[in-house]
Every structure is written in C-alpha cells, then in structure tokens.
Copies of this chain bind each other. A is one copy, B any other.
Amino acid sequence: MKDNINILITSVGRRTQLLKYFKKELKGIGNLVAVDCSNLAPALYIADKHYIVPRINDPNYINIIKDICRKEEIIAILSLIDPELSLLAKHSKEFKDIGVTAVVSPREVCELWLDKYDTSIFCHDNGFKFPKTYNTFIDFENALKNKEIDFPVFIKPQNGSASLNINKANNMKQAKVIFESSEDMIIQEFLNGQELGIDVYVDMISRKVVSIFIKEKTVMRAGETDKGRSIKSNTLFKIIKELVTKAGLIGPIDVDVFDVNGEYYISEINPRFGGGYPLAYECGANFPKYIINNLKGIENQPEIGKYEENVYMMKHDTLIIKKDL
C-alpha cells in the first residue's frame, strides 16, 4: 500500500461542498485530485490538483484516468455521475491492478438502478413498495381500464437522471403526446407524498450497512435537494437496510423515497453520493471518513441513526471567478 491516501474524484461538476469535505478529511494524510471534461466545473478548483479530461464516452477515457492515477499515486477513485458508475465498475479490476480501489457498487447493480423499469421489477419481486410503472402504452391503458392507476401520471425517460424531461400528464391526450415525444419513455404512478432523500454507507470490507441518514426534501431545485431537514424513522431504517443489502450495493448510496402517509415507496437509487449529501455530513454522517477507513483496511462500525434530528440545510450560490480560461 502506498503511504498517502490520495483520492481521485471524477466528473466533479458543481459538487464543491463534497470536495471540501474530502479535502478536510484528507488533511495531512493525502491529496484530493479532481477531474472533469469542462474547465467550467467549479469543483475542480477546490481539489489540491485538477485535470481536464475527455468525456466519459471517449474511447481513451479510462487510459487517461489510469495515467492520472499513476502520476498522482492515487489509491481510490470515485465518480459523482450516474452514467460513469458502471464504467468504473467495469474497469475495477484494471484499476485494482495499478493499486486503485474503485469506490463503486458492482457493475450489474449500477446498471439495474439506471433503468427505472427494471428497478420497478426488482422492487416488486423483492417486496419493496415502488410506484406502478409501465413501459408500453398498451400496458398503461389496460391498467387504467382495470383501475390499477389513474391520472395524473408521470411520464419520463426510462434511463433519465436529474429530473430531466419529466412530465406530468393529466389526461389521455397529454399522456399520449408526451409518451410519443421521445423513445424509451415510461409511465409512472403519481404519488402524493413527502419526498425523502436517504444517504447510506455500506462498508466496503464488512459489507455491513454503517450509516443511514434520512432527510425530508423540503424544496427541490434543478432536480436536487435545495432545502432539507434531518429526520429519523426506525421503520425506514429497517427497509433501507434490507433494500441495499438485497441489492448488493456498496460504498456511498443515495436513495429517494416517497412517504405516503407512513407507507414508504422507493423512487430511485443512485449508487453514489447524492446531491443532498452535505446535510448528512453536517449532521455527523461522515462518509469520506468511512471511505478513508476502508482504504486503510479498517472496518467501520455500524452507527445507523446516530445523528442530530431537525437540522435544516439551505443551499445557496457562491462564485468562482476565473480570467481567460
């Protein structure tokens, strides 16, 4: 094992706050290196060192990342965006061969949760509540006839992320036009409940669930939690523990849940740090520390629910100014 805990975070985008936490935890023990395909990604400028790299679909991407890992003596790599997760997972052995741990769930797990229809099947088969989901218009029409579902419904891309292109349809005419506006759309039950964002850490050594942090998503903005409040629920802790274990997820995970009068519906799993994670850190759920422990060979002891309740987070904008980029 190399002496320093040097960590590389890819596709860092706007996630400056998360990088600040990593930098804090790495102080005196290692460097934080960041990469992104755009020199306008503000989080680049938080890291100790940064590189501009090609897009993740560039055939040379993985080789370039590996070169950076060697040069910077990196021992762990993680990504902050969904489409890159299965790519890192796919190449995790190659990374291991050069001494780099890919902090990511197994490939097939990452891919399952990218697909909202497959996700609905997984939840149904494993006894977790999930909004009713249809991937053909005929199935939806039949469900309407059988009164399994009613308007309004959500129509969104099967593989979407960050609430892009999500539409609410109030009647058949709207539903048809939106469904046909793009390929691979799904129709989903509209749940009228409180949205919850849950940050989970599964130990990479023991595979035990170490931390579950629940926040009420008070206000959303650009598909992310803009304002949130920490809450606790033993019922939900139990459901989430069972879910991430059955799904085979590891490392940092972000789960979205709808609380419909005390019934918890899984809405989405992102096997990476969620956009609302900063509140969890501020309340004491220190995932960068857990990752560093695991990289040092130390198992983290479960501390589910050990955090302060009723703490509010309000995100707001600050600036990075750069001349002549």
Contact = CB atoms under 8 A, between A and B. Distances in A.
Interface of A: 14, 16-17, 40-43, 170, 173-174, 177, 181, 218-219, 221-222, 226-227, 278-279, 282, 308, 310-325
A14 B319 contact: no
B40 A219 contact: yes
A222 B219 contact: no
Contacts of A226: 14
Contact of A321 (B43, B174, B311): B311
B314 A316 contact: no
B16 A316 contact: yes
Contact of A174 (B181, B218, B312): B181
B219 A315 contact: no
Contacts of A177: 173-174, 177
Contacts of A282: 319, 321
B316 A316 contact: no
Contacts of A278: 317, 319
A318 to B, nearest CB: 5
B312 A40 contact: yes
A74 to B, nearest CB: 24
25 contacts: A14-B314, A14-B316, A14-B317, A16-B318, A40-B218, A40-B227, A40-B312, A40-B314, A43-B316, A170-B181, A174-B177, A174-B181, A177-B177, A221-B222, A222-B222, A278-B319, A279-B319, A279-B321, A308-B323, A311-B321, A312-B321, A312-B323, A313-B319, A314-B320, A316-B318
A288 to B, nearest CB: 16
A204 to B, nearest CB: 27
Contacts of A317: 14, 16-17, 278, 315-318
Given A14-B317, A17-B316, A174-B177, 9 more contacts: A14-B315, A16-B317, A40-B227, A40-B312, A42-B315, A173-B177, A312-B323, A315-B317, A316-B319
B314 A322 contact: yes
Contact of A17 (B173, B218, B318, B325): B318
A319 B173 CA distance: 42
